[in-house]
């Protein structure tokens, strides 16, 4: 049975039994403590914890998930995968244990020709929480399982919680006995013979504080009992398809077959190659799904994970012996398998492939640079007599050049070295903690959302900002450092929740409104507005006057000029996005945006820089749309209706069933958007593109001013042109030629100055060669040249001095100069000096160390530099001392 059919049957089965089919949430997680969704129940957490009232009593979904903790184990075992799918059925205070068991057992054991999975009942077991006698009784009655096929397990195995105080409960798993070849009889710990594939969580309790899987207290029962189940789609697929592991199922194995064909290596012949094949297949599929959900390669958070996956796949293909670009061959194969369940991948494949192929091209370039850094690190390590590459160096290779740690370990082993992996992991941990702290600060300001949840229980904040800029309201509550507070006084900065508000909370790329909240003897300046919990709008305010208390009647007023300019910028973003797609084509899809009054920037999928003519064309299309005075409207509809209508969604955003579609000029621009907008495109005002740049592989960024800011920008440009015209005595249209002529004349003059400076430097060679210092028989010249001599001229001087000295004695020439504040040094030796076991490379490293840098080269000529010009004198003395030590030692 194909994986897509297993998926379809699951959703159909539960839809037929009154469950609402809910689309998968995007892979990027809205939780500041997570990068990606890792469980099927992720998008239903607000319902389980009571933050929101569920719109349905029963739901079912197939959630896309990415697990990042085990990336380095992928391929080494048959169980670890990065991307996976979790089938789930959920009850919010509706049915409970008996129906959950009945539904699961029926679907699992029902014959395939009747719409079930057709598992043989005789090899199925159930595990239960050891105190849950109710569940045991249900399994006996509903499934007819005897006592010896019901396993009681402890809290660590069969009791579920979110890891924090809140809902929890016992669980029950369906296991299959795969036979004696997979392990000993009734060995529940190994996990290979008795394989769990469906977990039923009976969410009935409330847990307290505590750590681990069993180190907390059960405080009582929930007022409403819920069901949360998870059936691992890939696990069921390999059980039903008769293969041994997830890598060999229909959605993954074709990539292995293609990789085998490309590399000429056979899957199943050698363990090391098998690991590489599995890494390739898993990571290519994971990258396809991540890019499909709007993640782009980068150096932080989700982008960092994606980049790592792509580069591990590329490197694994190279280790399999395939040196050519591989993603162009493998990604379409993965698409062919995944499109059966995710048809949207087909329409978006142009953008997905563009991002992936650009990352491969970039990595192929950095492999060369990274390998050079690696070679230098290996040489320095060996020179110091050590046998272990520093963790900091491994981290640099990983962080700067994208080298996976296993690549560094493998390359080091080829050189006979170990790697300080503990030091590397420590640095990685520090980086992850910084990233998590940044994410928490950006998303909520506080990791603990209990204060927000407490105020959310008083009701949803009504947003009135689409209709008005001023609203009479009531203070529902206030928070100080994330905790609910009874009052706040003048001079404090606190967070305020109102019954209703016209203030727009930052989202969708649009920053928050500014303005005032006024009351009787009360004046609050609004500094920021956020939605830390769905349904709750929180204002960060400075109390300018008065004492703030819950229950106060206030008037919330948005700054009118601020909102007008913000609307211009947000509508301008939509206009520029539509212009991009008109000029470049449908693959130029937005992958992120930011707009504030008068300014916008938009990130979009594109692999190459836009030339001046293309930027001008985009700007012209945008301004023509503004001039046409296109109507701007917003409509509400279901998410499927919006997609059918052609509305574009922002990648990575989670949308409700009812979404808001903003339309500019009919089908020319239709996007899902909750932001504030102008009424007609002419109100955007002028659109002036100010720049375009790269922000990562396959992603470009365009920036623009709109409205009055655009006019101010053009005014500054006009003033600059006028000033240049006056100074250069040329008309504006003559300026390009005039400036080009001046630049060429300057280049010629600088070249002549450089020639004269080099000649002046070389004139000193004869005098220096006449007066060497005798250092235990070695003729040593240590000379600091005038400042400003570049490395090339310094090298010429050293060689010229060496060439002028007699060859009947060993000669060492060391010349040094400081150029642009950075010292450089060149050392040259003659043949006789090398016969005396002196090496220019060794001596230049000694000199460079005094300069706060490093150096290297051949035995006869070497070059180095540093950052500490004050060490110049010490560097030349250190070389002289080293010569004496070497000769006399």
CA 729 vs. chain centroid, Å, equals 51
Interaxial angle between packed helices 3-15 and 233-240, expressed in degrees from 0 to 180 and rounded to the nearest 10? 120
Closest CA to 463 of 414, 512, 419: 512
Q: Are strands 470-480 and 462-463 parallel, antiparallel or unpaired?
A: unpaired
Q: What is the DSSP string of 761-775?
A: HHHHHHHHHHSPEEE
**Cα gap 10→774, rounded to integer Å:** 89
Tokens representing residue 12 in the block: 């159909």
Residue with the two structure tokens 């924090």: 164
Q: In whole angstroms, how large is the CA radius of gyration of the chain? A: 34
Alpha carbon of residue 503 to chain centroid:
30
Residues 6+ apart with CB under 8 A from 90: 19, 41, 44, 58, 59, 60, 61, 226, 227, 228, 229
Q: How far apart are CA 382 and CA 267, in angstroms?
A: 37
654, 679 Cβ separation under 8 angstroms: no
The answer to whether 697 touches 359, Cβ cutoff 8 Å, is yes
Order of strands, edge to edge, in the sheet holding 854-857? 773-775, 778-784, 811-819, 822-829, 861-865, 854-857
Tokens of 753: 């100055």
**Cβ-based burial of 92 (10 A; exposed 0-12, middle 13-18, buried ≥19):** buried
Distances in Å between the Cα of 436 and the Cα atoms of 32, 43, 266, 440 are 7, 20, 41, 6
Binding-site sequence positions for Zn(2+)? 570, 574, 673, 677
User: Which of 854, 862, 853 is closest to 833 using CA atoms?
Assistant: 862
Q: How many CB atoms lie within 10 A of CB 765?
A: 23
CA distances from residue 790 to 303, 665, 793, 825, 874 in whole angstroms, order as listed: 40, 60, 6, 10, 20
Distance CA 636, CA 639 (A): 9
Cα–Cα distances in angstroms (integers) from residue 698 to residues 294, 314, 444, 604, in the given order: 12, 16, 30, 8
Residue appearing with tokens 């002529």 = 741
Q: CB of 628 within 8 A of CB of 681?
A: yes
Token representation of residue 782: 């240590």
Tokens 């293609």, residue located: 258
CA 532, 538, 544, 549: dihedral to nearest 10 degrees?
Answer: -120
**How many angstroms separate the CA atoms of 671 and 680, rounded?**
16
Annotated binding site: 570, 574, 673, 677
Give me the count of residues in the chain.
889
């Amino acid at each position: 049975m194909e994986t897509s059919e297993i998926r379809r049957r699951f959703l159909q089965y539960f839809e037929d039994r009154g469950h609402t089919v809910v689309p998968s949430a995007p892979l990027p997680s809205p939780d500041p403590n997570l990068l990606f969704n890792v469980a099927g129940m992720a998008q239903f957490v607000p319902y389980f914890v009571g933050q929101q009232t569920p719109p349905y009593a029963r739901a079912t979904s197939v959630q896309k998930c990415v697990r990042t903790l085990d990336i380095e184990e992928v391929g080494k075992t048959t169980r670890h995968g990065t991307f996976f799918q979790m089938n789930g059925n959920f009850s919010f205070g509706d049915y409970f244990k008996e129906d959950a068991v009945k539904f699961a057992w029926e679907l699992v054991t029902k014959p395939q020709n009747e719409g079930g999975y057709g598992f043989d009942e005789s090899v199925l077991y159930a595990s239960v929480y050891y105190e849950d006698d109710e569940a045991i009784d249900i399994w006996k009655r509903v499934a007819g399982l005897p006592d010896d096929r019901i396993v009681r397990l402890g809290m660590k195995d069969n009791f579920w919680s979110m890891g924090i105080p809140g809902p929890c409960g016992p669980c029950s798993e369906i296991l299959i006995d795969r036979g004696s070849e997979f392990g000993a009889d009734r060995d529940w710990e190994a996990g290979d013979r008795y394989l769990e594939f469906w977990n039923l969580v009976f969410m009935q309790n409330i847990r307290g504080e505590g750590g681990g899987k069993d180190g907390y207290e059960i405080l009582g029962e929930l007022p409403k009992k819920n069901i949360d189940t998870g059936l691992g789609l890939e696990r069921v697929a390999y059980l039903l398809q008769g293969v041994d592991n997830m890598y060999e199922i229909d959605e993954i194995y074709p990539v292995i077959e293609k990789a085998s064909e490309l590399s000429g290596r056979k899957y199943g012949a050698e363990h090391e190659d098998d690991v590489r094949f599995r890494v390739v297949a898993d990571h290519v599929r994971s990258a396809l799904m991540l890019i499909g959900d709007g993640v782009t390669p980068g150096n932080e958070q989700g982008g960092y994970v994606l980049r790592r996956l792509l580069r591990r796949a590329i490197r694994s293909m190279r280790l399999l012996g395939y040196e050519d670009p591989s993603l162009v061959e493998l990604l379409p194969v993965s698409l062919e398998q995944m499109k059966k369940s995710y048809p949207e991948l087909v329409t978006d494949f142009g953008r997905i492939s563009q991002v992936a192929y650009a990352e491969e091209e970039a990595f192929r370039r950095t492999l060369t640079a990274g390998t050079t850094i690696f070679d230098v690190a290996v040489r320095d390590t060996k020179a110091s007599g050590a046998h272990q590459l520093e963790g900091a160096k491994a981290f640099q290779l990983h962080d700067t050049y994208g080298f996976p740690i296993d690549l560094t370990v493998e390359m080091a082993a080829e050189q006979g070295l170990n790697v300080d992996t503990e030091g590397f992991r420590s640095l990685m941990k520090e980086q992850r903690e910084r990233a998590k702290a940044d994410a928490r600060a950006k998303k909520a300001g506080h990791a603990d959302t209990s204060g927000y949840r407490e105020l959310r229980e008083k009701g949803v904040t009504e947003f009135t900002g689409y209709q008005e800029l001023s609203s009479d309201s009531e203070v529902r509550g206030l928070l100080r450092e994330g905790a609910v507070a009874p009052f706040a006084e003048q001079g404090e900065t606190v967070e305020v929740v109102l019954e209703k508000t016209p203030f727009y909370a930052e989202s969708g790329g649009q920053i928050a409104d500014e303005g005032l909240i006024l009351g009787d003897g009360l004046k609050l300046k609004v500094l920021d507005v956020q939605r830390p919990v769905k349904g709750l709008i929180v204002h960060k305010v400075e109390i300018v006057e008065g004492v703030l208390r819950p229950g106060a009647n206030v008037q919330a007023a948005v700054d009118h000029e601020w909102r007008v300019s913000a609307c211009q910028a947000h509508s301008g973003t939509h206009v520029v996005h539509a212009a991009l797609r008109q000029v470049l084509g449908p693959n130029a899809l937005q992958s992120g945006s930011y707009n504030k009054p008068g300014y916008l920037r938009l990130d979009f999928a594109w692999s190459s820089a836009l030339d001046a003519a293309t930027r001008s064309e985009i700007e012209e299309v945008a301004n023509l749309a503004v001039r046409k005075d296109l109507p701007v409207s917003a409509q509400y509809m279901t998410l499927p209706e919006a997609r059918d209508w052609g509305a574009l969604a922002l990648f990575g955003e989670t949308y409700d069933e009812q979404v808001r579609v903003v339309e500019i000029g009919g089908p020319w621009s239709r996007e899902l958007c909750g932001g504030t907008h102008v009424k007609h495109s002419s109100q955007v005002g002028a659109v002036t593109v100010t720049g375009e740049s790269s922000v990562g592989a396959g992603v470009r960024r365009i920036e623009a001013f709109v409205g009055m800011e655009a006019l101010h920008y053009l005014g500054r440009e006009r003033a600059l042109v006028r000033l240049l015209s006056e100074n250069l005595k040329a008309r504006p249209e003559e300026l390009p030629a005039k400036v080009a002529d001046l630049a060429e004349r300057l280049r010629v003059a600088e070249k002549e100055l450089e020639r004269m400076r080099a000649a002046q430097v070389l004139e000193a060679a004869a005098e220096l060669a006449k007066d060497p210092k005798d250092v235990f028989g070695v003729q040593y010249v240590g000379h600091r040249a005038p400042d400003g001599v570049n490395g090339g001229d310094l090298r010429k001087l050293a060689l010229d001095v060496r060439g002028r000295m007699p060859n009947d004695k060993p000669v060492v020439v060391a010349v040094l100069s400081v150029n642009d504040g950075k010292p450089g040094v060149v050392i040259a030796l003659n043949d006789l000096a090398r016969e005396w076991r002196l090496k220019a490379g060794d001596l230049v490293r000694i000199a460079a160390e005094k300069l706060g840098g490093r150096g290297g080269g051949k035995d006869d000529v070497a070059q180095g530099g540093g950052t500490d010009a004050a060490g110049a004198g010490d560097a030349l003395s250190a070389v002289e001392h080293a010569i004496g030590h070497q000769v006399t030692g």
